Amino acid sequence: MKRSYLFLVFILVIGIVFALGDRGGRVNLEEADNAVIPDGGGKAIVSVRGDEVKFKLSVNGLPFLIDTGDLEKPGVKKYHFYEAWLVTDSDEMISMGAFNVDKSGRASIENVFDIGQVRDRQGNLMEIKNIERTMITTETQDGNNMPGETILIGEF
């Protein structure tokens, strides 16, 4: 009787570990509607284990940004870097960091964070439950912490 009880407890624990274990997904990033920088693409992988979130991103086909100006009207808009974002089911946005691409138009970034320590723009802890999509934006060096223009997007 004691052995069967221990076996059932073991099976239950294994089931809980697998049920709560790795969550997340992989998504292909495609050109967003009205993207100011066309023809890029990429992949993002998000995995959640407990409170730890791992984010991996690779992009390609994007221009290297150094005051490139608007593609159709040079000098109208100045883009300085790209930024990766995770967006939750309640439209909370979590920056995964700024980046630029190399001369061949490629970049990859990785970020690991504790989901229980994510803060909003006012510094308050956010309750994050579900990450629904990831997006890449173009940014200017204007000190604004809001997302710029979305150029790539993908939904999990």
Q: What is the pLDDT of residue 102?
A: 92
For residues 94 and 118, the answer to whether their CB atoms sit within 8 Å is yes
CA distance 99 to 138: 10
144: tokens are: 């604004």
Q: For the chain, what are the domain ranges? A: 23-155
Q: Which residues have CB under 8 Å from 148's CB, separation 6+?
A: 79, 83, 137, 138, 139, 140
Cβ atoms within 10 Å of 59's Cβ, excluding its own: 23
pTM score above 0.85: no
The pLDDT value recorded for residue 12 is 35
Task: Provide the pLDDT for residue 9.
Answer: 35
- Arch. (CATH architecture) of 23-155: Sandwich (2.60)
Strand partners, 23: 48
Q: What pLDDT is recorded for position 110? A: 96
Alpha carbons 50 and 47: distance in angstroms, whole number = 10
Task: Give mean pLDDT in consecutive 10-residue pieces for the chain, a chain of 156 residues.
Answer: 43 35 77 88 91 93 72 59 90 90 94 82 72 90 83 93
Query: In the prediction, which pLDDT does 13 show?
Result: 34
Which residue is associated with the tokens 């504790």? 114
**Residue 75 has what pLDDT?**
52
Q: DSSP letter at 36?
A: S
Q: Which pLDDT score is estimated for 78? A: 66
Which pLDDT score, from 0 to 100, does residue 40 have?
A: 92
Q: How far apart are CA 32 and CA 38, in angstroms?
A: 9
pLDDT tens column, 70-103: 555 555 456 789 999 998 888 888 889 999 999 8
| pLDDT number for residue 92 | 84
